[in-house]
Homo-oligomer: A and B are copies of this chain.
Amino acid sequence: MTLDRPRRPRSARAHDAVLTATSALMREDGITAITIDRIAARSGVSTATIYKHWPCKAAIIAEAFGRDTAEVVALPDTGRPIDDLVTYATDLLTHYTSSEGALFAQLLAACATEPQAAPYFHEFFLMPRRAAVEPFWDRAAEAGLTRPGVDAAAATDVLLGALVFRLMSGHGSLSPDEVRKLVDHALHGLLAPAPADPASTGTQPHGRRLRT
């Protein structure tokens, strides 16, 4: 617990210890069971020191969660941007279907409850994730594969949004089928495409294209 040699450069040590302890606690007992005192006890960092590094509990959690999450879902690169996007989106949502999703939901809840944590969530979770996919969406946009006006920010929010909503409220299924449906809806829209030629059939061929 008390290393001897390099004593003063503690700031970084304490910082790391807190994040590590927080990660451990949140996997073990869930975010709701996390308390500053438990983090302090687990990390060996005193509560006072913790409060010198972060403004509130949710900020710690946001940073810890963001650090852990560094690319849990790989970005494929097959050269077929649309396929890659579909794969990535499906993988991403599927990943948050697991217990990781519950953590994510509780992290978001903490952010909403403690507004001071928002910047931490932004910096340590959202931005890194978005930066990773941004070039991807950019390339897709350049290739004319995305709708006009679609950028990484909007895309992420629309893609994750429905899942977030369901995770938060606990309603709605998160079965693989549902996840695929949500991804499909987000990527291709809720409404039928405006018929290019108004003379087509009422129901149209996309039925085949979309159904699972």
Which parts of A65-85 form the interface with B (CB within 8 Å)?
A: 80, 82-83, 85
- Check if B212 sits within 8 Å of A181, measured CB to CB: yes
State whether A211 and B148 are in contact (beta carbons under 8 Å apart), knowing that A106-B112, A185-B158, A206-B82 are contacts in the complex: yes
Copies of this subunit = 4
State whether A182 and B211 are in contact (beta carbons under 8 Å apart), knowing that A144-B192, A169-B118 are contacts in the complex: no
Q: A108-B169, A112-B168 are in contact. List 20 more A-B contacts (CB 8 A).
A: A82-B211, A83-B201, A86-B210, A126-B171, A144-B204, A146-B191, A147-B189, A147-B210, A148-B210, A149-B211, A150-B185, A158-B161, A158-B162, A158-B190, A160-B161, A160-B165, A189-B189, A189-B190, A189-B212, A210-B210
A residues contacting B by CB (< 8 A) are 32, 80, 82-83, 85-86, 105-106, 108-113, 115, 118, 121-122, 126, 143-150, 153-155, 157-172, 177-178, 180-194, 196, 201-204, 206-212
